[in-house]
Every structure is written in structure tokens, then in C-alpha cells.
């Protein structure tokens, strides 16, 4: 099969499309003929040598496609089914990939839209679970317009929570369309949030990593009410929980998202697509850091 790979660390130019052996699914896994695979920040961080140090390396943790082989014990899907989910081997940007966690592609979605979902919805759901966000609570999301932030907003709204989100002025209407109340980030944030919620907020989720953990702690009344997915150093400094996948993943998000989408209660992030052969260009766009929504590779 053909797959994206790099054999040395560096810029996007080190990426290549290589011929690799076909993967085989283990117990409880499925293999898919990949139709679309998500591109994430971790891809270019790996490529630059900021994460795993082994070489060569493949890329991609989220994908959507058609099941073409079942691992031992798999009974919940059949060959030919459309599924999306996680490739924990980090080899989803390929013609074939093994998924260890998966769910049916929601009926109304194409493969590109489905491949844009796994990382964002799992991260958002995990953080909300860790905070204990539920009905009648008030949640502040710092960085609410990105793929993870907007997912967290919509999941919290679906749980019955009141949501306040920090965004730039250009995204206020977008955030209102998701059911949240927007505030502009930056100096004076505490006062603006208190104008909306004079009694403070119950929980805060930091998606932006913009150095506002002290303000979030003040607004919620303590670090135990704050979770960040973007500020590891700040989490250590201020005794805030840093949410990461190895502390327990919210894989139930995969099976729950379909009902919300089909009920019109979840707005999908914008998707920009590239053919697999243009993986280097997708990396360049991702690394520039001005992407709204999700970058996705299409595999014929």
C-alpha cells in the first residue's frame, strides 16, 4: 500500500509517499480502505523530531473509510461498512489503516467530514467528563471557535450547560449560532465574564493555551475547576489538570456524535482537503497556524 512517511526529521520536504506492507487487524480491530485521513498538529511536530525519535515514521491518527477486514472477535461491523475512528499506530495517512476504536460514519456525512471529527470530539468530550460538566452548570471555554473548542461548546450545550466562550470579535456570531455567549479574549477578560455571570462560572476549559489560567482559576474559584488541553507548563505551575489521552480517552464520543449530527445539534468544522500526494502542502498549511477547521487528506 501507499502511505505518507518520513525517514529524516525536517521540514515538509522530508515527506514521501512510500510503498509499505499492508497492515493486518488484531483482535478487536478493523482494517479500512482509507478514504480520508485527518491532519493534526502532532503530525508536523513528529516530522520535526519534537515527539517520537525513531525513524522512519508514518503519520495520521484519525481516518474514515470502508471496512475491508475484521480482526478476531469483531461483530459490531461488517466488511463494506463505512466507519471512522482512531489508528493508534499513527499510520492513518495511507491507503489502508487499522482502527482500534471506531464507529459508523453518520449517515449524512461524507468521508472527509467524518475524518475531521475523531481527535476534536474525543478531546472535547474527555475534558468535559474530567470537569464534570452537566446541566445547570456554567462553563467558560477559552478558545471556543476552533475544532476542539467548538466541539466542547456544543457537547456542553447538549448536556444542558450554560456556555460562555472567548473568541475574537469576528467569531461572535458563529459562537452564538452554537448556543454559547461570546466574550472577547484579552486584557479585562475577568470583568467581561463577570458582566455575563456575576456569580462566576462553575468550570473552565482552556483550549487556546494563551496564558489565562490564573484568570480562569479566579473565575471558577479554584484550580480544581479548570482543565487545559493546551498549556502543559501552566498546568504544572498552577496545579490545573492537563488533559491528555493517556489518562483515559472518551471514546464514547465516537458513538454519540452521530445522534447529535442527525438531530441538527452539532455543527461540523470547516474542512479543507488535499490529495494524499500533497501531504507536504497540507503540513505547510497546518504549520502556519492560521487554519480554521480541519485539514484532511483524501485517498482514492
pLDDT tens-digit readout, 71-103 = 999 999 999 999 999 999 999 999 999 999 999
Q: Is the pTM of this model over 0.85?
A: yes
Max distance between CA atoms of the chain, in angstroms, equals 60
Query: For the chain, which residues make up each domain, given as ranges?
Result: 2-117+268-298, 121-247
Contact 205, 127 (CB under 8 A): yes
Q: How far apart are the first and last CA of the chain?
A: 12
Average pLDDT over residues 37-43: 91
Going by C-alpha positions, the residue among 92, 90, 148 that lies closest to residue 115 is: 92
Q: What is the pLDDT of residue 194?
A: 96
Summarize the confidence of residues 134-143 as an average pLDDT: 95
**CA angle centred on 252, ends 84 and 163, rounded to 5°:** 105
Return the C-alpha cell found at 160: 444542558
Tell me the three state secondary structure of residue 62. Answer: strand
pLDDT-derived band at 181 (thresholds 50, 70, 90) equals: very high
Number of H helices, E strands in the chain: 10, 16
Q: Give me the mean pLDDT over the 272-285 stretch.
A: 96
pLDDT at 35 over 90: yes
Please give the CATH architecture assigned to the domain spanning 121-247: 3-Layer(aba) Sandwich (3.40)
**Is residue 98 within 8 Å of residue 29, measured between CB atoms?**
yes
CATH entry, 2-117+268-298, from 3.10.580.10, 1.20.1290.10, 3.90.180.10, 1.25.10.10: 3.90.180.10
pLDDT at 247 over 80: no
43-64 average pLDDT score: 93
Amino acid at each position: 500500500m501507499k502511505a505518507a512517511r518520513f525517514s529524516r526529521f525536517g521540514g515538509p520536504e522530508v515527506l514521501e509517499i512510500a510503498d509499505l506492507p499492508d497492515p493486518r487487524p488484531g483482535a478487536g480491530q478493523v482494517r479500512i480502505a482509507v478514504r480520508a485521513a485527518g491532519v493534526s498538529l502532532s503530525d508536523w511536530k513528529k516530522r520535526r523530531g519534537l515527539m517520537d525519535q525513531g525513524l522512519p515514521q508514518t503519520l495520521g491518527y484519525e481516518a474514515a473509510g470502508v471496512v475491508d477486514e475484521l480482526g478476531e472477535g469483531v461483530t459490531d461491523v461488517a466488511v463494506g461498512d463505512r466507519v471512522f475512528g482512531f489508528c493508534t499506530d499513527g499510520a492513518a495517512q495511507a491507503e489502508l489503516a487499522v482502527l482500534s476504536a471506531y464507529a459508523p460514519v453518520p449517515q449524512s456525512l461524507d468521508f472527509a467530514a467524518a475524518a475531521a471529527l475523531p481527535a476534536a470530539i474525543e478531546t472535547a468530550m474527555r475534558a468535559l467528563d474530567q470537569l464534570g460538566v452537566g446541566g445547570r452548570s456554567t462553563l467558560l471555554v477559552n478558545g471556543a471557535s476552533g475544532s476542539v473548542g467548538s466541539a466542547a461548546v456544543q457537547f456542553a450545550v447538549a448536556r444542558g450547560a450554560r456556555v460562555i466562550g472567548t473568541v475574537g470579535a469576528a467569531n461572535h456570531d458563529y459562537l452564538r449560532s452554537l448556543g454559547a455567549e461570546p466574550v472577547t479574549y484579552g486584557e479585562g477578560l475577568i470583568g467581561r465574564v463577570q458582566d455575563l455571570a456575576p456569580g462566576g462560572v462553575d468550570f473552565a476549559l482552556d483550549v487556546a493555551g494563551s496564558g489565562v489560567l490564573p484568570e480562569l482559576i479566579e473565575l471558577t474559584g479554584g484550580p480544581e475547576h479548570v482543565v487545559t488541553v493546551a498549556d502543559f507548563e501552566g498546568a504544572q505551575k498552577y496545579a490545573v489538570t492537563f488533559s491528555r489521552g493517556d489518562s483515559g480517552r472518551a471514546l464514547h464520543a465516537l458513538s454519540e456524535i452521530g445522534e447529535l449530527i442527525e438531530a441538527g445539534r452539532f455543527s461540523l468544522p470547516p474542512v479543507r482537503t488535499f490529495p494524499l500526494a500533497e501531504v507536504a502542502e497540507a503540513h505547510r498549511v497546518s504549520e502556519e497556524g492560521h487554519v480554521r477547521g480541519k485539514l484532511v487528506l483524501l485517498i482514492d
